[in-house]
Amino acid sequence: MLQIRLLTFLFGTLGLLGQDLWSEISRKGALRWGNDAEGGAPYIYHDPVDVSRLIGFEVEFAEALCARLGLRSEFVQNNWDLLVPVLGTGDAFDLIIAGLERTPENLARLSMSRPYFAFGQQLVVRSNDLALSSLDRLKDRPVGVLSASASQRLLERHGGVRIRIYQDNVNYFQDLELGRVDAVLADSPIVEANLPLHPQLRKAGPFLETGFYAVGVRPTDRELLRRVDAAVEALLEDGTLKKIYSRYGVWGPEQERLSAWRDEGLAVRQRISVWRDWRVYLPLLLRASVTTIWVTCGGMALAVLLGLVLVLARLHGPTPIRWLAVAYIEVFRGTPLLLQIYFIYFGLAQQLGLRLSAGLAAVVALGLNYAANEAENYRAGIQGVPQGQVDAGLALGMTRSLVLRRVVLPQALRLCLPSVTNDFIAMFKDSSIVSVIALVELTKEYQIRAIDTGDYVGLGLMTAGIYFTISYAASLGARHLERRLRRDPH
Amino acid sequence: MIHIEGLTKRYGERRVLDGVDWVQAAGETTVLFGGSGCGKSTLLRCLNQLERADAGRIRIAGHDIDPAQAPAADVLRRLRCGVGMVFQQFHLFSHRTALENVMEGPLHVLGRLQGEVRQEALDLLSRVGLEGHADQFPHQLSGGQQQRVAIARALAMKPQVLLLDEPTSALDPQLREEVRRVLRGLAEEGMTMLVVTHDLRLARQIADRAAFLDGGRILESGPAEQVFGNPVHERTQQFLEEVHS
């Protein structure tokens, strides 16, 4: 009896929580809206005059919306990719105002207000590439899009081009200038704000598609949605939106569609079961894991070789070389891999004109970073070989380098193989970090598909299964190699 | 064959060797003994340049060594090829079999051919009584067997002089005899050996002459029977009594 009463109470409370978000909000007098300050101009960015202040047409829209609702505006920072899942599961913010497109995919996952902004999908190319002015002409060429955006979905539906996925609105224009991608497909406000900074780039053709941004709320928060709808309509009618958007240069003729908008009841896409459709999703993940594998193998090959050079320099080099090796090891171990990746991909291109492809940059960054670890692994292995055997080699008339080659290194290899294997498996998992430079590897593919389908668990299990299978195969292989190297088991 | 004059070696302030003079003819076997820290091992290591002395002159196996200057690489190589060394702790290459340990020097230092080196190495292993153990790894062998492989490894270079640093002291007493037997055989064949040891039974069996090292100097030397049987110096007597007891 008690249990039933407890359950009823719990469900009652949960139900109330859903119903009562509006009264909770009005009691606190503040509306928490989620967005990602990395979004950039003209959406949301730091005021160049006062860098502690966030500005942008979405910031001002959010503030106007809150004012209209009689609430204080409270911005909550959240990774853009993850705004929708976080809204669904957490209590971090009440709604999303973050250029969220009113698409069937999004409507399957959350409720959306009436639109507050109309945009078009604009293709951007280099001014001198006269031939590349439509998607069909970009067949098999790399095109940059924002991760989990309507542009990405458009390209996926269209097919034919090589989609390069970026985490933010800024870097793909830079890569377009540098020739790493041949076009960018982005929402019109992004293009309007960024083209003035990139005189070598131009818009190609009319909008490929048009769409709307709308406020996202949890499906259970109906009262909140109703009030947001009314407030957006009022802001549109009294000209507030036009005033705000004009300030940021994003009020164009397309915004006329806002007042004409009627909810036509977009076909809401059904939640997808990745288990039923595993024939679709497993191959996608497997294809992405190929990127993970070659990035890891390339990175490890570089790390293993460079690590050897470093350890020999450190242990046997002349003094200045020794210092350089120590400095290298300490710097690469003491700074974040993420920073090193940015530096190698963007920094080298900007400062030295050295334009590595994303794949090469990933391999180089992982390799340079892990070389420091490998050098330390080897050092432990080399110092684990008894000095007496070195003396014995020298006493036979061997030179120092022959002793190193015939006596020390073969045994050091055997001693450090387990830690090198560990590093290989660690790098295999660390390699997911390279998705920041527009490489879609296994984790990124998982993230994209999970956001699309909402099935974090099913896809997660598939992805984990792939990671585990490969890691386990690698450690079995290493164990076999260890046994072969250690013909004499100590 | 070995001619040492005024050999001096310091570690910081401490004089480990303090003017050692020593002459040894070809075919002779001599034993150096003395308390721990008296400089015996250092002396051996200076002779094949695993360590550099600070002063004095060394002439060994036809090579002149001036401690004042680092020897050239090829001089060093020829010196070490002519002067074999056997260590207290054997120091076999633990990733190689007994046979590979013996073949390592001739193959990779002398650059000789696999086929003949292999046959010689097998002969050497049977000479030290290890016919059946060619393919075993060091950890599969007893201490006495390992030391015999180490002796074979040194002999494979066909050295003119063999330096042995306490060759039996890391072994259980019952394993010492097999090493003594091998060394006795070498002495009888006329190998020139300089042996640092406390193993008086070994010393009596193989030594032509003996020397007592104390405080970095040779305190007493002479025919082995005389030094062991009837030592002149009080400290030598004392030391021999302690070792016996």
How confident is the prediction for chain B on average, in pLDDT?
Answer: 92
**Residue A155: inside a domain:** yes
Q: Is A292 contained in some domain?
A: yes
Q: Across-strand partners of A96?
A: A34, A216
Phi and psi angles of residue A124, each rounded to the nearest 5 degrees, phi first: -125, 135
CB contact under 8 A, B85 and A406: no
For B160-177, what is the mean pLDDT? Answer: 93
| For range B181-194, the mean pLDDT | 95
CB contact under 8 A, B94 and A488: yes
Residues A218, A171 within the same domain: no
Strand partners for B163: B85, B194
> Cβ(A55)–Cβ(A37) under 8 Å?
no
Contact check, Cβ <8 Å, B85/A490: no
Rounded to the nearest 10 degrees, the angle between the axes of helix B143-155 and helix B114-127 is 130
Inter-chain CB proximity A488 and B140 less than 8 Å: yes
Interface contact A397-B94, CB threshold 8 A: no
Are both A428 and A462 inside the same structural domain? yes
Shared domain check, A157 and A39: no
Contact B87 A402 (CB under 8 A): no
CB distance B91–A386 less than 8 Å?
A: yes
- Among candidates B191, B137, B200, B139, which has minimal Cα distance to B168? B200
- Indicate the residue of B80, B139, B140 with minimum beta-carbon distance to A396: B80
In a domain, A304, yes or no: yes
- Determine, yes or no, domain membership for A387: yes
DSSP string across B186-238:
HHHTT-EEEEE---HHHHHHH-SEEEEEETTEEEEEEEHHHHHHS--SHHHHH
> Which two tokens mark A202?
């131009």
Residues 6+ apart with CB under 8 A from A350: none
Omega before A206 within 30 of 0, i.e. cis: no
Same domain, A53 and A132: no
Distance from CA of B204 to the nearest CA of A (A): 27
CATH, residue A196? 3.40.190.10
Taking an 8 Å cut-off on Cβ atoms, the answer to whether A388 and B80 are in contact is: no
Residue B160 per-residue DSSP state? S
Q: Are A322 and A314 in contact (CB under 8 A)?
A: yes
Burial of A283 (0-12, 13-18, 19+ CB in 10 A): exposed
Question: In whole angstroms, what is the distance from residue A245 CA to residue A247 CA?
Answer: 5
Q: Which of B76, B91, B109 sits opposite A389 (nearest CB)?
A: B91
Min distance B146 CA to chain A CA atoms (Å): 13
Alpha helical stretches, state H, A123-187: 150-158, 171-178
User: A490 to chain B: which residues are within 8 Å by CB?
Assistant: 94, 139
Q: Looking at the structure, do residues A325 and A412 belong to the same domain, yes or no?
A: yes
Q: What is the pTM of this model?
A: 0.73
Dihedral, A271, A272, A274, A276 alpha carbons, nearest 10 = 120
The answer to whether residue A430 is domain-embedded is yes
Give the helix/strand (H/E) hosting A166: strand A162-166
Beta strand A111-126 with A183-187: parallel, antiparallel or unpaired?
A: antiparallel
Nearest to A391 among B50, B78, B153 (CB): B50
* Residue partners of A121: CB distance under 8 A and separation at least 6: A150, A151, A154, A185, A186, A187, A188, A207, A208, A209, A210, A211
Q: Is A260 exposed, middle or buried (0-12, 13-18, 19+ CB in 10 A)?
A: exposed
Mean pLDDT, residues B18-43: 90
Torsion angle of C-alpha atoms B121, B126, B131, B134, degrees rounded to 10: -20
User: Most A CBs within 10 Å: which of B94, B149, B153, B155, as the mutation test of the A interface?
Assistant: B94
Phi, psi angles (nearest 5°) of residue A477: -60, -45
Interface test with A, best of B42, B45, B85, B93 (most A CBs within 10 A): B93
Taking CB atoms and an 8 Å cutoff, what residues of chain A touch B102? none
Q: Are A84 and A202 in the same domain? A: no
Judge if A449 and A390 occupy the same domain: yes
Cβ atoms of B81 and B66 within 8 Å: the answer is: no
The sign of the dihedral angle between the CA atoms of A257, A263, A267, A268 is: positive
Residue A128: give the domain boundaries.
118-211
Tens of pLDDT along chain A (490 residues)?
Answer: 444 454 444 444 444 444 578 888 989 999 999 999 887 889 998 888 888 899 999 999 999 999 999 999 999 998 888 888 888 877 889 999 999 989 888 888 899 999 999 999 999 999 998 888 888 889 999 999 998 888 998 998 888 899 999 988 888 998 999 889 999 999 999 998 888 889 999 999 889 988 899 999 999 898 999 999 999 999 999 999 999 999 998 898 888 888 888 877 665 556 667 787 888 889 989 999 999 999 999 999 999 999 999 999 999 999 999 999 999 999 999 999 999 999 998 888 888 888 888 899 999 999 999 999 999 999 999 999 999 999 999 999 999 999 999 999 999 988 999 999 999 999 998 899 998 887 889 998 898 888 777 788 889 999 999 999 999 999 999 888 888 876 654 4
Task: Verify that A355 and A432 share a domain, yes or no.
Answer: yes
Using a CB–CB cut-off of 8 Å, the residues of B that contact A are 48, 50, 73, 76-78, 80-81, 84-85, 87, 89, 91-95, 104-105, 108-110, 137-140, 150, 153-154, 157
Which chain A residues are Cβ-neighbours of B71 within 8 angstroms?
none
- Same domain (yes/no): A358, A465: yes
Q: Using CB atoms, which residue from A402, A411, A487 is nearest to B108?
A: A402
Q: Final residue of a domain: which of A190, A211, A232?
A: A211
Q: Which amino acid is it at A306?
A: L
Query: Which of B79, B91, B140, B149 to mutate to test binding with chain A, by most A CBs within 10 Å of its CB?
Result: B91
Name the residue facing A397 among B77, B92, B94 (closest C-beta).
B77
Cross-strand partners of A111: A217
Final residue belonging to a domain, choices A187, A211, A235: A211
Average confidence (pLDDT) over B197-222: 91
Verify that A194 and A75 share a domain, yes or no.
no
From the list A389, A397, A414, which residue is nearest B105 (CB)?
A397
Chain B's closest residue to A408, CA to CA, is B93
CA distance B181 to chain A (A): 23
C-beta atoms of A396 and B153 within 8 A: yes
Query: Which residue does chain B place closest to A409, by CA atoms?
Result: B95
ipTM: 0.94
The rounded distance, in Å, linking the Cα atoms of A404 and A412 is 10
Q: How far is CA A198 from the centre of its chain?
A: 24
HSE value, Cβ hemisphere, 13 Å, CA-based, for A409: 13
The helix/strand/coil state of A276 is coil
Question: For residue A260, is it within any domain?
Answer: no
The answer to whether residue A257 is domain-embedded is no
A35 and A112 share one domain: yes
The DSSP 8-state label assigned to residue A222 in this structure reads: H
DSSP string, B27-91: T-EEEEE-STTSSHHHHHHHHTTSS--SEEEEEETTEEE-TTSPPPHHHHHHHHHHEEEE-TT--
Contacts of B221 (CB under 8 A, 6+ apart): B22, B209, B210, B211, B212, B227
Nearest one of B222, B196, B192, B155 to B1, comparing CA atoms? B192
Q: What is the pLDDT of residue A270?
A: 60
From A394, A396, A488, residue closest to B104, measured CB to CB? A396
Instruction: Give chain A's domain count.
Output: 3
pLDDT at A15: 45
Chain B interface test: which of A385, A389, A396 (most B C-beta within 10 Å): A396
CB contact under 8 A, A488 and B138: yes
User: For position A406, which CATH number holds?
Assistant: 1.10.3720.10
Assess whether A236 and A358 both reside in one domain.
Answer: no
Whether A140 and A160 have beta carbons less than 8 Å apart is answered as: yes
Distance of residue B109 Cα from the nearest chain A Cα, in angstroms: 6
Q: Per residue in B119-152, pLDDT tens?
A: 999 999 999 999 999 999 999 999 999 999 999 9
Question: What would the pLDDT profile of B194-208 be if each residue is shown by its tens digit?
Answer: 999 988 899 989 999
* A420: closest CA of chain B, how far (Å): 19
By C-alpha distance, the chain A residue nearest B110 is A397
Whether A399 sits inside 8 A of B140 (CB atoms) is no
**Closest among B204, B128, B195 to B167, alpha carbons compared:** B195
Residue in A281, A157, A151, A284 with CA at minimum distance from that of residue A208:
A151
Identify which of A388, A395, A490 has the shortest CB distance to residue B48: A395
Q: Are A370 and A286 in contact (CB under 8 A)?
A: no
Give residues with Cβ within 8 angstroms of A487, minimum separation 6.
B95, B137
Residue A273 falls inside a structural domain: no
What is the pLDDT, as a whole number, of residue B111?
A: 93
User: Per the CB < 8 Å rule, is A395 touching B140?
Assistant: no
